[in-house]
Amino acid sequence: MSEIFFYITAALYFAATAVFFAYLFTHKEKFTLLGQYILIGGSVFHAATILSRWVATGHTPVTTTHGSLIFFSWILVVICLVVMFRYRQRVIGAFVTPFALVLLLMASFLPRDIIPLSPVLESYWLPVHVSIAFLGNAFFALAFFLGVMYVIQQRYLKSRKLSGMFYVLPSLDLLDELNYRCLQLGFTLLTLAIITGSIWSEYALADWMSDKVRVRQIWSFITWILYAALLHGRLTAGWRGKKAALLSGAAFLILIGSFLIINFVLGGAHGLTG
């Protein structure tokens, strides 16, 4: 059943992407409203995909790269929808939805066999730690796309050619404000994820997995330093606007790059299945 839900989700995200792109070119509000409804439907089937997989495996389905990509994609879409409703900026979906679709497509090419969970992962820490970590990553991803929108909008203003997406993108002030709030939330959640992960690995993980765990912890700490420096710069050195957008983009590319490389090299979201 999870396979059916998965392909329905991918189809809906593809349809939402097409509709959102149509809005970018036509500027007709009906397309964003339709795209939003399709995205909501996709998120529901996405949740059903995760839930059915959870029932089949008997644990949070994030211990494989396939499962972690699906879960990350869903969390990102949910956060995107919340921001879209909260700030009435449906155009954000035009930037986030394609990325969520790409994550699903990547997951579709990976093994999806149900693998027994290692005893060290049979803990309530698994859903708690993973949910916090992916929420933080989702906010960082959203900050990245808001930064992309900021750079595009600023380029229109500097060129004085007020055409194209200029009329559908939010103002620079709103984009900068949302970028900052997403960075704050992402950093707080990343800090909590590092703390919970450290406590869990200290008291539960086996010695023979210490090297793999250490690699993840090192990259998490590197990411934490990058975002801490960015937030510190915004507060003390006035890093705002384009500079903040570019720096948050660079930090996210490092984050997502390390996430994918570590998962493909070490195997699984935590490399501790079976």
User: Taking 70 as the threshold, does the pLDDT of residue 101 lie above it?
Assistant: yes
According to the model, what pLDDT value does residue 119 have? 60
The model's pTM is 0.88
User: Taking 70 as the threshold, does the pLDDT of residue 69 lie above it?
Assistant: yes
According to the model, what pLDDT value does residue 243 have? 81
According to the model, what pLDDT value does residue 207 have? 47
Report the sign of the C-alpha dihedral through residues 104, 107, 109, 114, in that order. negative
Mean pLDDT across the stretch 28-45? 95
Share of the chain above pLDDT 70, in %: 84
Mean pLDDT across the stretch 185-203? 84
According to the model, what pLDDT value does residue 273 have? 38
According to the model, what pLDDT value does residue 267 have? 55
User: Taking 80 as the threshold, does the pLDDT of residue 248 lie above it?
Assistant: yes
Cα separation, 164 vs 70, whole angstroms: 33
Rounded to 5 degrees, what are φ and ψ at 273?
A: -90, 155
Mean pLDDT across the stretch 38-67? 88
CB 214 within 8 A of CB 198: no
Query: Tens digits of per-residue pLDDT, 107-128?
Result: 998 877 666 666 666 667 778 8
